[in-house]
Amino acid sequence: MYRLSRNDKCWCGSGKKYKLCHERSDEKILMPLKRAGYPIPPRRLILNAEQINGIKESAKITVAILDQLEDIVKEGITTNEINDFVHKYTIDHGGIPAPLNYNGFPKSCCTSVNDVICHGIPGKQKLKNGDIVNIDITTILGGYYSDSSRMYTIGEISDEARQLIDVTKECMYEGIKAVKPYHPVGEIGNVIHDIADKYGYGVVRDLCGHGVGLKFHEDPLVCHYRTKYPTMIMVPGMVFTVEPMINQGTWRGHTLSDNWTFVTDDKKLSAQWEHTVVVTEDGCEILT
């Protein structure tokens, strides 16, 4: 934390004097938490109104894609055809598909079918009756990133698959309710893990939510499993994803030979839902 005079302009870019803006939260709230051992977010993670509005504009494309996929994702479609739609829609609306060529990822979205936890690479696979698929969209617009994913069902799915999807969605929304200013980000995972335990589901620990907005991935690390360790304090203006990955069986998974596709160890189903949120003065706002 940098020391400012009370009459200096606030570090956040609001144009207000420090004493009228962030002084109270910095000195009266965050410093005691820091002394108690909780990591405090660096100021680069606290976004201003202009930056948050930029993310919201990006999110309009992300949400529109996910909405239109509701009518497109049907039995017989290939995951590559889904990717082609995502790519074209993004480009046609002035955006850039963030996954494409990110650390070598070859496609514009992730399509994770059945036992694929995440990072499924679109290809020739045809979706068939009974399949469940997570489609993960991240859009860059004007330098701002928005990230969201949904579950889609193909034809008649099993009761067990439906329950997994519904519980995972509940985990996400209850986790989002746990987003509160000046609370540890670990409270999100505590809530999610409690729900998953009721159903005997595994909560993936190898992957997690993340800061997003100005970059694809940055702090904070948003774990979806239970932890007793001091985790980063959530502060108004922080933007990150809540994206629990819940498995029907074990929480453990492994990466296939393509170095991306992450699947359950026991070949049982996995589900995921994701939103990008911003911490506010009284809770949070879903941006996607």
Q: How far is the C-alpha of 277 from the C-alpha of 43, rounded, in Å? A: 18
Within-domain flag for 214: yes
Within-domain flag for 3: no
Q: What one-letter code names the amino acid at 32? A: P
pLDDT tens column, 35-77: 889 999 998 999 999 999 999 999 999 999 999 999 999 999 9
pTM: 0.92
pLDDT tens column, 199-244: 999 999 999 999 999 999 999 999 999 998 899 999 999 999 999 9
- The sign one gets for the Cα dihedral 207, 209, 210, 216 is positive
Residue 119 belongs to domain spanning: 41-286
Q: How far is the C-alpha of 134 from the C-alpha of 119, rounded, in Å? A: 10
Within-domain flag for 141: yes
Within-domain flag for 131: yes
Mean per-residue pLDDT for 86-93? 98
Within-domain flag for 250: yes
Q: How far is the C-alpha of 173 from the C-alpha of 69, rounded, in Å? A: 21
Please state, as a whole number, how many other Cβ atoms lie within 10 Å of the Cβ of residue 199. Answer: 15
Q: For residue 2, what pLDDT is reported?
A: 45
Output Rg (C-alpha) for the chain, integer angstroms: 20
Within-domain flag for 151: yes
CB 267 within 8 A of CB 202: no
- The pair of structure tokens assigned to 265 is 């160890």
Provide the domain count of the chain. 1
CATH code (residue 138):
3.90.230.10
Within-domain flag for 8: no
Q: How far is the C-alpha of 228 from the C-alpha of 237, rounded, in Å? A: 25
Within-domain flag for 17: no
